[in-house]
Structure 1
Amino acid sequence: MGVQACQPTPSLERIPRSTADVTQWVNPFIGTTNEGNTHPGAALPWGLAAATPHTINFRNRATNPAVYRYGDPYIYGFGSVNLSGLGCPIAGAVPLKFSRGEFQWDITHFESTYSKEEATPGYYNVQLDKHQLQVAMTATQRSTRFKVIPQEGTAPLNLMLDIGANMSHKKGGGVNLVNEQLVTGFQHDGSFCGVKKNAKIYFAMKVHTKPTSVQMLENKQQSSKRSVEGAQAGVLWVFDPVDQPVEVSVGISFVSTENALQNLQTEQGVKDFDTLKEEAQQTWNEALSKVEIEGGSEDERTVFYTALYHSLFLPHVISDVNGAYKNNETDSVYMAEGYTRYSTYSLWDTYRSLHPLLSLLYPKQECDMVQSMIEMYKEGGWLPKWELFGYDTYVMVGDPAVPVITDTYLKGITDFDAETALEAMLKGASVREHNPIRPGNQHYLDLGYIPIDDRGGDPQQFTFTNGIVWGPVSTTLEYNFADYNIAQLAKALGKEDLYQKYYKQSMSFTKLYDSETSFFRPKRKDGSWMQPFDPLDRHFDIRWKMSGGKGFVEGNAWQYNFFVPHAIDSLRALMGEKVFYEKLQRLFDEGQFDLTNEPDITYPYLFNYIKGKEQLTQRYIQEETAEHYTNSPDGIPGNDDAGTLSAWLVFAQLGIFPDAPGIPIYQLTTPKFQKTVLHLDEYVYGGKQVVLEKTGRQGSYFSHALLKDGTKVDRFRVGHQQLLNSGGITYQMDSVEVQQASM
């Protein structure tokens, strides 16, 4: 399938810059507690494969989305497909288990305390104390490599492929013995967030060390078959005597076992473990050194670069080395011609901070991600909502592909099929019924909002695919924001009538604004307000814990009080300047600002909209980052949501933050470091450098800023192109303390 493709460029630009190894300032253990759901395993930027320890027994049903939690007592095994910072269990695929002595199926045979953990970008190493085995691992884009080194004792070493011990709720698979050192097979995977859709993860596994014996296992027992299937199946290799390291490689594909083997052979070839490890580190160093910082303590540098590191896991590459990929919605295999196909789009989260960061620092990858979304529409009829492994789960709310595509285009990354993108957006926005992207769209189009008393069914029966609306107020506001972005892309493409129509539609949030309470609140179909209304309500609007107050998604009316990112000036006029400021101040004073979840993460920057109160943006950003981001396992404030919270921190510490997708403007705050240099790609940005630095008395806040071309920054904000053309910003620091006087 030919496409209008993003222009070819090396996967990571080799721009001359500091020779420092910035990977030394990455701590992969950050975010592995406090429900951050990151992992310390070995992977490459946007890699499909990730070699990761499992501290949970996944033979049982997964009870949370983490494959690894720092401080858990045992390691049970290691997987080769593991995703970072998600909200529901998935993957953990191709689980390998290592033990010593006489093999037993029981999980207690494998569980082991562990010590001497070491993790750096592209590498993880640990000692399994019970088995006296050192297990090291690294990865390429589509394959993993394990090296198992016996420590003490002479007991035989067991290597088991445990086909049913993946993290996913969907268990089992099949494996075929090609020869004693090569097996191929597949693993079932699916039921993400309760959505009954599935995929097959194909693998080819090569054992580099000749074993003493190989046994096929089925129903927990040894089998004489060369091919076995089921949730209690696998392969056992025994090495006796165990007098040398045992190495294992795993190739991954979503197309076929043949492609998995080709991925493995192409990416690893005859390279040894150490070479692969060094190449992984070099790849990460090239990716992370796009940002060069001066100043800051060791901990501060580590927090920053780890946040950038966590921003580069998802979406991940899914096309094979030959370009093939599987669309599980159409059950068809396609070829990615002229672009790299990506998968796993947590778009409700990532449109807010992650994709704007990728647009700035990694425009080629962002272009391919957008082209991937457009191809999903061409193949299956809809833009993605929460696409995973070749199918859409439709998880969360809104129409979140739209702001990603529009914002990318407005940033000057235009080497994709924008006309087809607009066509896809218009379909999602106009289909009135049985619309998987926009449930409740008929009421939204007719009334300008989704009523609380007609949501398409009983909210206690809600699923992501049955058309029932979760949080009518939140969903309406999300549709408004998407419509604004449709309008902006239409305008950029010269379609004035469409611009006017969708801009007008984007302003219907006024119908849900109650001037008496100064909140957005649920409204009935007849136009009356839902009674009673409590803006602090957090009880379960749907059957899930923490689902949000009635009418809202994962939040209450306070967290959505300012959620019209495309129309903040209009909201100020609607509320009145005094109420807008007082409500915004109360949000922080009364503890209603919630950095752990997405709807309100831009709110500290709203003080930049209020003349004389701009330093409150700087104050709250500094307070929130100092409190919630640390060089420790709990150093992310909550679920990283596919890199969203990490990307938020990167922008906050750079001193620029995207105003909103579809509005190519950055709000300014105090940079964390004395000087930061952004080394931009040749692709789109012509290899420019952007310098962000502080000067003056080095107080806590800056009073004004100058562009590097001498222009004074107006209203504490700067346009995307203006920033690039000027070469950067100088922030004039003062010692003046921020004031909170009333207006």
Structure 2
Amino acid sequence: MKIFKKKLLSMILGVAVIGSACSQYPTAQQEVESESVTDYVNAFIGTSNKGNTYPGAVLPWGMASPNPQTKDFRLRAGTPATYEYGDPFIYGFSSINLSGVGCPGGGSIPLKLSTGDLDLSSDSFKSSYNSEVSKPGYYSVVLDKHKLRAEMTATKRTARYQFTFNPEVKKTNLYIDLASQMSHMKGGEIKVEEDGTVTGYQLDGEFCDCEGVAKIYFALKVQSTPNAVKVFKDQKEVANTSAKGSDIGVAFSFDGKQNNLDVQVGLSFVSAENAKLNLLTEQKDLAFEDIKLAAKAEWKKQLSKVDIADADVVDKTIFYTALYHSIIMPHIISDVNGEYPLMQKEGVGKAEGYTRYSAYSLWDTYRSVHPMNALLYPKEQRDMTVTMLEMYRESGWLPKWELYGNESWVMVGDPAVPVIVDTYLKGITDIDTDLALEAMLKGATTKENNPLRPGIKNYLELGYCPIDDRGGDPKDFTFHNGIVWGPVSTTLEYNFADYTISKFAEALGKDEIAKKMYDQSMSFKKLYDPSTAFFRPKTKAGEWMEPFNPLDRHYDIRWKGSGGKGYCEGTAWQYRFFVPHAMNELKELMGEEKFFTNLKAMFDEGHFDLSNEPDITFPYLFNYLDNKHHYTQKYTKQESEKYFKNASVGIPGNDDAGTMSAWLVMTQLGIFPDAPGIPVYQFTTPKFNNVTLHLDDYVYEGKTITLNKSGDGEYFNSVTKGNTGEKVKGFSITHDELVNSGTLTFQTELAAVVE
């Protein structure tokens, strides 16, 4: 449990109490044992340094996420963060939010509070604040100006608010402001029904410049009796009980007798009737405290999949917060009756035999979140995989960066493919394999009008995407006009996806397809320049692009930071080893000694960037070299301790829908999936001396894995399994071997021969 309060700094009974809004978090060890694993979650981690996380209430993979808004979003798009630690004001509270994303979206169904006569200006609602409390499934704060405590909790599809005003306050107001969410789209439709329930929808769209628009439906009930209920359009009261437009809202006003406001919000992406149904089903006649306790219990259940024995409290807080952030997205989008919005088209589908999910940041999450889910949360990962296949069935393409039933086509590669293959090869086979192979091959072989794989015609014919034939001027790039972002990066991503298709086809006995896709996956060799030992941009005529600067980081496409010429969000260094499926082939191209010296230089010269997804596996690549495994152990410790802290800045930049957090989870467990789609984990030194993984009954039959670290050092030369002391071969382990190992023991030493 973490409590942030002004002008006080302490750590007592698992409560973090903080000074001013700009102070850092305490790092002193907690004195008393916490009562629950949920007490080790500090949801304020990542709420600055552009981590884009939030401290509000949410359930694991929950649709509803009531949260404070410290930005003024009225009639303009916001930043990707609805909340930033240290901001001076809170403007209101929203019921659906996104965690760790790079474009503004969500912040939906905003509620604003004020006192005195009703005034719809942002200044009348904003307030300084103190005494923030964030626990899994619960958030509260005191708004100084309005003399109220705001509390919120959630079920999967509904939000619950409790606002308590100081008795001396004589007039209070609650405003539902449909012009104040984070999206580029504003407004919607709102109606006050006869029983006082407010229903309608709020628009959300143009995420990362995509063309799709979603309707977020709601049903809101206030348990107190207002003095007045007014409908507004363009900030002017209208005589009707409903309004439609870009700047609309409903205001409730109360006299001083109403010091407690209990507000229930049902949510749906299908209809207001479904929002009502979700509210009725999930909240029933439950009191606020009942919902709060149920939320805590759900978090305890999911976080307890990993049981850490005695350890430093700060270390456990960093770990469990990372696990917490890893299982927020994708989030549920199907209603309690199974209905959901169809992918890329009008209409409603019904999820039969699975739960439907949304918010797939796949270029990020395929690297860590989904492989982690496959081990710790296989049922949810199965449903996420089925969701992706149903998205293909409905839209004709696998998703890339889907949000609320709309595809944005954001980022590069074909990232759904390794997720599906990784899931299947880890024994989660209850999916439609024929549909899956069909979907993968359509993306990998369709030359024309292929929005999933820009540049694929050249890729299939040349073996790479040329720098001088991208499909248009990179200055005109959008995510949906077919222009290739980072031709080198795109080629390497396609190669990796194609390799995983080959492994999937091989598992299905489709040998001819497997060979074709394997051959396709090896074309990265055409972009490898032996004179520089980098993957380099090449022209359509087969010439190297000149000049070449491996440190270039900017303006591959139309914005600074988009990547050096030929690369996506990185430099040539950060793609130097990005062939996760072909380490042996890369060693052969580069030479093992040069492979080692170049890989070591990544870290010693400062080229490694943990916030940059393509190179997050690079610390593990020393395991592929003879007698260099200690460097993996050295650099994983170095980088995780450098970037992950019990502080608002405690994530290395954008959490990318949990990707950075899941990297830390698997790294600190000592078992990292460096090549999703290849069911193998690389070893590094575990953070904790004793950890037990409680695997699910689904697929894994409730087995446990105990990870023991013995000895007093940070380096190890071998790992043993079971009670017999049998050594695991090398410094990696297959998924099946891991699941059936029972116990893994890392025998550490004080030091290693590391130059």
The answer to whether 1:703 aligns with 2:717 is yes
Partner of 1:126: 141
Indicate whether 1:640 and 2:655 are aligned.
Answer: yes
1:272 to 261, 281, 287: 287
Counterpart of 1:699, as a letter, is G
Deviation at 1:221, TM superposition (A): 1.2
Q: What letter is aligned with 1:637?
A: P
Indicate which of 546, 550, 556 corresponds to 1:541: 556
Q: Give the conservation status (yes or no) of the 8 Å contact 1:132–1:152.
A: no
Contact map agreement 2:79 2:182 (CA 8 A) in 1: no
Conserved in 2, the CA contact under 8 Å of 1:150 and 1:242?
no
Q: Which of 510, 515, 528 is the matching residue for 1:500? A: 515
Q: Report sequence identity in percent.
A: 57
Q: Relative to structure 2, which stretch is displaced further, 231-240 or 508-517?
A: 231-240
**Match for residue 702 of structure 2?**
687
Maintained 8 Å contact 1:705/1:713: yes
Q: Does 2:490 align with 1:475?
A: yes
- Is 2:244 the counterpart of 1:215? no
Q: Distance in 2 between the 1:406 and 1:518 partners? A: 30
Question: 1:2-25 deviations in whole A, cap 9, x for unaligned?
Answer: xxxxxxxxxxxxxxxx99510000
The alpha carbon displacement at 1:714 in A equals 1.6
Name the stretch that deviates more: 506-515 or 181-190: 181-190
Q: Tell me the distance in 1 between the aligned counterparts of 2:213 and 2:464.
A: 34
Change (3 A) 1:113 1:19: closer
CA distance in 2 between counterparts of 1:394 and 1:242 reads 52
8 Å CA contact 2:633, 2:715 repeated in 1: yes
Q: Which runs of 5+ in 1 are unaligned?
A: 1-17
Deviations 1:346-399 (A, max 9, x none): 000000000000000000000000000000111111111111100111000000
How many angstroms apart in 1 are the aligned matches of 2:271 and 2:107? 18
In the alignment, the residues of structure 1 paired with residue 451 and residue 695 of structure 2 have an alpha-carbon distance, to the nearest angstrom, of: 38
Write the distance in 2 (CA, Å) between the matches of 1:590 and 1:714.
Answer: 32
Q: What is the CA distance between 1:223 and its match in structure 2? A: 1.2
2:66 to 51, 68, 87: 51
CA gap 1:695/1:523 in 2 versus in 1, 3 angstroms: same
Aligned to 1:114: 129
Whether 1:589 aligns to 2:604 is: yes
Secondary structure at the aligned position of 1:109 is classed as helix
Do the aligned partners of residues 660 and 323 (structure 1) sit closer, same or farther apart at CA in structure 2, a change above 3 Å counting?
A: same
Q: Aligned letter for 2:206? A: S
1:201 and 1:227 map into 2 onto residues whose CA distance is 17
2:399 to 368, 384, 395: 384
Q: 1:605 aligns with which of 605, 620, 623?
A: 620
> Are 2:96 and 2:107, in contact at CA under 8 Å, matched by a contact in 1?
yes
Residues 597-655 of structure 1: CA distance to partner in whole angstroms, max 9, x if unpaired? 10000000011111111111111111111111011101001100000000000001101
Report the alpha carbon displacement of residue 73 of structure 1 after superposing the two structures with TM: 0.2
Using the TM superposition, give the Cα deviation of residue 296 of structure 1 relative to its aligned residue in structure 2, in angstroms: 2.2
Q: TM-score, normalised by structure 2?
A: 0.95
Instruction: Give aligned pairs, total.
Output: 722
Contact 1:455 1:468 in 2 (8 A): yes
2:450 is the alignment partner of 1:435: yes
SS in 1 for 2:726: coil
Q: Shift of the alpha carbon at 1:239?
A: 1.1
2:499 is aligned with 1:484: yes
- The equivalent residue for 1:367 is 382
How far apart are residue 91 of structure 1 and its match?
Answer: 1.1
Which deviates more, 474-483 or 705-714? 705-714
Give the whole-Å Cα distance in 1 for the aligned partners of 2:35 and 2:370.
27
Q: Is the 8 A contact 1:55 1:73 kept in 2?
A: yes
Contact 1:138 1:276 in 2 (8 A): yes
* CA spacing shift, 1:357–1:617, aligned 2, 3 Å: same
Matched residue type, 1:391: N
Q: Distance in 2 between matches of 1:363 and 1:20?
A: 27
Q: 1:654 aligns with which of 669, 694, 704?
A: 669
Q: Aligned pair 1:726/2:710, yes or no?
A: no
- 1:195 and 1:465 in contact (8 A); partners too: yes
Contact 2:186–2:247, Cα closer than 8 Å, also in 1: no
Q: 1:736 to 1:546 in 2, by over 3 A?
A: same
Aligned amino acid, residue 136 of structure 2 = P
Give the drift of 1:105: 1.3
Q: Which amino acid aligns with 2:217?
A: Y
1:545, distance to aligned residue in structure 2 (A):
2.2
Q: 1:95 to 1:137 in 2, by over 3 A?
A: same
Contact 1:181 1:208 (C-alpha < 8 Å) held by counterparts? no
Would you say the 8 A contact 1:398–1:479 is kept in 2? yes
Deviation, 1:530, is: 0.5
- Looking at structure 1, the residues matched to 35 and 590 of structure 2 have their Cα atoms a distance apart, in angstroms, of 50
Answer yes or no: is the 8 Å Cα contact 1:327–1:333 preserved in 2. yes
Counterpart Cα distance in 1 of 2:607 and 2:562: 16
Q: How does 1:85-484 map to 2 (within 5 A)?
A: 85-179=100-194, 181-484=196-499
**Pairwise CA distance, 1:152:** 4.8
Shift of 1:231: 2.3
Q: Find the aligned partners of 1:178 and 1:632 in 2 and give their Cα distance.
A: 45
Q: State the Cα deviation string for residues 408-459 of structure 1 (Å, max 9, x = none).
A: 0000000011111010000001110110100100000000000000000000
Indicate the RMSD between aligned Cα atoms, in angstroms: 1.1
Matching of residue 71 in structure 1 with residue 80 in structure 2: no
Q: Which amino acid in the other structure matches residue 559 of structure 2?
A: W
Q: Contact between 2:159 and 2:265, CA under 8 Å: does it hold in 1?
A: yes
**Aligned-partner SS, 1:559:** helix
Letter in 2 for 1:561: R
- CA distance, structure 2, for counterparts of residue 439 and residue 172 of structure 1: 34
Aligned equivalent of 1:11: none
Q: Residues 243, 63 of structure 1: CA spacing in aligned structure 2 closer, same or farther, 3 A cutoff?
A: closer
Is residue 587 of structure 2 the alignment partner of residue 568 of structure 1?
A: no
Structure 1 residues 283 and 216, CA gap change in structure 2 (3 angstroms): same
What amino acid does structure 2 have at the position aligned with 1:400?
P
1:220, distance to aligned residue in structure 2 (A): 0.4
Q: Secondary structure at the match of 1:104?
A: coil
8 Å Cα contact 1:49/1:252 also seen in 2: yes
Q: Contact 2:343–2:395 at 8 Å: present in 1 too?
A: no
SS in 1 for 2:52: coil
Q: Work out which of the residue numbers 551, 570, 580 in structure 1 matches 2:595.
A: 580
| Aligned-pair CA distance for 1:60 | 4.2
Alpha carbons 1:410, 1:664 under 8 Å: kept: yes
Deviation of 1:196 after TM superposition, in Å, equals 2.1
Q: Which residue of 2 aligns with 1:13?
A: none
- Does structure 1 conserve the Cα–Cα contact (< 8 Å) formed by 2:75 and 2:186? no
**TM-superposed deviation, 1:538:** 1.3
Q: Is the contact made by 1:74 and 1:114 (CA closer than 8 Å) also made in structure 2?
A: yes
Q: SS state of the match for residue 623, structure 1?
A: helix
Aligned residue among 33, 40, 61 for 2:55: 40
Counterpart residue identity of residue 705, structure 1:
V
Q: Cα distance, 1:524 vs. partner?
A: 0.2
SS in 2 for 1:44: coil
SS in 2 for 1:282: helix
| Structure 1 Cα separation of the partners of residues 258 and 547 of structure 2 | 73
- Segment drifting more, 330-339 vs 146-155: 146-155
